[in-house]
Structure 1
Amino acid sequence: MNKLKLGISIGDVNGIGLEIIIKTLADSMIFNYCTPIVYGHTKVASFYRRITEAGELNFNVIDHPSKAQHKRANMINCWEEDVKIEPGVANKEVGRFAFASLERATADLVNGDIDALVTAPINKDTIQSEDFNFPGHTEYLQDRDGAAESLMFLVSDTLRVGVVTGHIPVSKVSESITTEKILAKLKLMNNSLRDDFWIRKPKIAVLGLNPHASDNGLIGTEEQTTIIPAIEEARANDILAFGPYAADGFFANATYMQFDAVLAMYHDQGLIPFKQIAFESGVNFTAGLKFVRTSPDHGTAYDIAGKNQASEVSFREAIFTALHIAKHRKEGLELNENPLQFTKLSRDRD
């Protein structure tokens, strides 16, 4: 059986991206599960290879994923210029190289030349240009996919959290939340839990927007006018959605353990508890797209860049999550072509 080809974009050259990539690929175990293809440049990789003391890791340079070698770390050089590497420094120059890596990797992903993509962290400011005018990876990849909606879905073994609104100012959250938008996110989450994680009847908790989920309208009205109608419509569409729950008590009392996933109303409402509960094991997955993309659940970490202190645990989890989802999708397609086999598999799992 051919191993999946996994694309890896390097993120911000001055951040910890290449450090955690190299630390991950230095463990040859990874080659038993996939054929990794890093989109960057060998000169930059050599700089961080010296820092991480991963001298035995040598990249096989190729110009197309079809030429990737198994049991090797492959590299596609995405630019020709020399790069001034300054770990921990944010500047527009390295933002260009972060986009060059992402653009090339995404093109191969869209064309089906790689089976999944794992993105190392970018600086959302320095990457901005005429070609990249998006709040982050999620919005860029949704645009490249041509999807009307996507879901920022943070996943781990203990907790899965999606958000209705992503990278927008807090002042814009309330006006951006509509019944239709909540319902769309619930549908994406429900479909992903079934198709990507193979949970047959997922239970989804929905958080309120206001403190105490508004205390029945005492503190705001969004729960009554917007969130509850969305939950009711979701249940009418056979989605097991429950709530709205007050966010503080929901996480403090570990109520999240009774559900397969949680839909938060805005970025920090969901991501702060997620990172507290599952920081090193957490993965950011962009659900609702035709292709598979994951990333670690942390940023560029300029404060420790270039110091050989970055942990690769979340990045490694991002790789295995991407591989699991890609395999589930492939197997799902095969099972749909053979419904009798699907029925037997379902019976065996019950």
Structure 2
Amino acid sequence: MNQRKNKPVIGISIGDINGVGAEVTIKALLDNRLIKLVTPVIYAHGKALTFYRKHLGIEDFNFMQIKSIDEVHHKKINVINVLEESPEVLPGMETNEAGKLALAALDHAIKDLKDNKIEALVTAPLNKNNINSPEKKFVGHTEYLTEAFGSKDSLMFLVAEGIRVGLVTGHIPLKDVSKNVTPEKIKSKLNIMMKSLKDDFGIAKPKIAVLGLNPHAGEDGLLGDEEENIIKPLIKEYKDKGHLVFGPYSADGFFGMMHQKKFDGILAMYHDQGLIPFKSQAFETGVNFTAGLPVIRTSPDHGTAYNIAGKNVADEGSMRAAILQAYDIIRHNGNWEEEGEL
């Protein structure tokens, strides 16, 4: 995409309208500083947003309904109806209709992203149960987008101030993790992380920590041999090439001693190993970024939170951070002229 004079257009797929996605989106976009930087386009249905505007008593949230991305208005919050009829909004309830809208919103946004009509996509949380169908298996946003854009691989990269954590394995059962921790997979994720830290975050010589798979990083083979046979030789290979890659570290000691502050990125072997410490530190400001795609996609680091949906207590910090992170990555990639500071 070439540099333009207008603000970058950032799409927001609404996710499950019965979760907190609509609430955190509305609250985040009430921040006028954000609207000065980007032009938001929400893929949803105007009736769902109107429901939450009234239900939450946020009457000063205004939007403009457009039929397609070609009608985008840079001084407004834009909304595209992705289905003719909006499903009934039932905060906290899991419904098939909400799943249908969530998938339609995501697919519509992906099409506009492929057509270079939007500069980035921010995905609000959805429910994997009601979005799945016999025709379309949905494991997660990361996997769905990786397939949609034909990428060989991608990296689930959780980022916040002071901590960035990527995963070797993502949404797979714990019993399958060990057999998926291969030299090829670790190398692929490391390469994506290094390139992303350089291109997307502007770090010329990134310093990366690699965590071990087993307790105490295997204890020299006593508690598992993946560190000795797979991870250590691979780290040596990267060091020999002049890369700042270190480890393997025992995850508990690494985070317990706050060593994450010493590194630009951390590569964890499996989902909870990386996400538990990340969310403990940055739950309200963390962003899930899919590195390795030919496009920019971010999201809040939380789920649908049905238990608090519609109660006006959801924190919009992570959604705001996701939109701002997308904007920052657009600038780091050189796709946009900087027009102002927050």
Report the TM-score when normalising by structure 1: 0.93
> Alpha-carbon deviation of 1:64?
2.0
Equivalent runs, 1:105-116 vs 2, <5 Å: 105-116=109-120
The change in CA–CA distance for 1:331 and 1:93 in structure 2 (over 3 A counts) is closer
User: Is structure 2 residue 61 aligned with structure 1 residue 57?
Assistant: yes
> Alpha-carbon deviation of 1:331?
5.1
1:258-288 per-residue CA deviation (whole Å, 9 max, x = no partner) reads: 1111000000000000000111111000000
Equivalent runs, 1:230-309 vs 2, <5 Å: 230-309=234-313
1:33-56 per-residue CA deviation (whole Å, 9 max, x = no partner) reads: 000000000011111111222212
For residue 185 of structure 1, give the secondary structure of its aligned residue in structure 2.
helix
User: Is structure 2 residue 94 aligned with structure 1 residue 104?
Assistant: no
* Residues 99 and 132 in structure 1, CA contact (< 8 A), matched pair in contact too: no
1:65-94 per-residue CA deviation (whole Å, 9 max, x = no partner) reads: 231112210000000124121111112221
CA RMSD of aligned residues (A): 1.3
Specify which of 193, 196, 201 is matched with residue 197 of structure 1. Answer: 201
User: Is structure 2 residue 123 aligned with structure 1 residue 147?
Assistant: no
* Residues 264 and 270 in structure 1, CA contact (< 8 A), matched pair in contact too: yes
In the alignment, which residue of structure 1 is the partner of 2:94?
90
Gaps of 5+ in 1: 335-350
Q: Distance in 1 between matches of 2:97 and 2:79?
A: 21
Q: Distance in 2 between matches of 1:150 and 1:296?
A: 18
Specify which of 225, 228, 231 is matched with residue 224 of structure 1. Answer: 228
Give aligned pairs, total.
333
* Residues 208 and 214 in structure 1, CA contact (< 8 A), matched pair in contact too: yes
For residue 243 of structure 1, give the secondary structure of its aligned residue in structure 2.
strand
* Residues 18 and 92 in structure 2, CA contact (< 8 A), matched pair in contact too: yes
In the alignment, which residue of structure 2 is the partner of 1:338?
none
* Residues 17 and 98 in structure 2, CA contact (< 8 A), matched pair in contact too: yes
Gaps of 5+ in 2: 338-342
1:97-130 per-residue CA deviation (whole Å, 9 max, x = no partner) reads: 1000000011101111000000000111211124
Q: Distance in 1 between matches of 2:200 and 2:92?
A: 36
Equivalent runs, 1:32-51 vs 2, <5 Å: 32-51=36-55
Which stretch has the larger CA shift, 55-64 or 295-304?
55-64
In the alignment, which residue of structure 2 is the partner of 1:208?
212
* Residues 158 and 278 in structure 1, CA contact (< 8 A), matched pair in contact too: no
In the alignment, which residue of structure 2 is the partner of 1:28?
32
Q: Distance in 2 between matches of 1:83 and 1:322?
A: 29
Task: Quote the sequence identity (%).
Answer: 53
* Residues 183 and 234 in structure 1, CA contact (< 8 A), matched pair in contact too: no
Which stretch has the larger CA shift, 49-58 or 295-304?
49-58
For residue 37 of structure 1, give the secondary structure of its aligned residue in structure 2.
strand
* Residues 210 and 248 in structure 2, CA contact (< 8 A), matched pair in contact too: yes
Q: Distance in 1 between matches of 2:319 and 2:135?
A: 26
What is the letter of the counterpart of residue 23 of structure 1?
Answer: K
Specify which of 307, 316, 322 is matched with residue 318 of structure 1. Answer: 322
User: Is structure 2 residue 23 aligned with structure 1 residue 19?
Assistant: yes
Specify which of 145, 170, 173 is matched with residue 174 of structure 2. Answer: 170
| Higher share in helix | 1
* Residues 294 and 318 in structure 1, CA contact (< 8 A), matched pair in contact too: yes
> Alpha-carbon deviation of 1:160?
0.2
Q: Distance in 1 between matches of 2:210 and 2:247?
A: 5
1:131-171 per-residue CA deviation (whole Å, 9 max, x = no partner) reads: 53131000000011110100000001110000000000000
What is the letter of the counterpart of residue 312 of structure 1?
Answer: E
Q: Distance in 2 between matches of 1:34 and 1:111?
A: 19
For residue 253 of structure 2, give the secondary structure of its aligned residue in structure 1.
helix
* Residues 131 and 138 in structure 2, CA contact (< 8 A), matched pair in contact too: no
Report the TM-score when normalising by structure 2: 0.95
Q: Distance in 2 between matches of 1:324 and 1:284?
A: 14
Q: Distance in 2 between matches of 1:59 and 1:111?
A: 24
In the alignment, which residue of structure 2 is the partner of 1:345?
none
Q: Distance in 1 between matches of 2:37 and 2:335?
A: 16
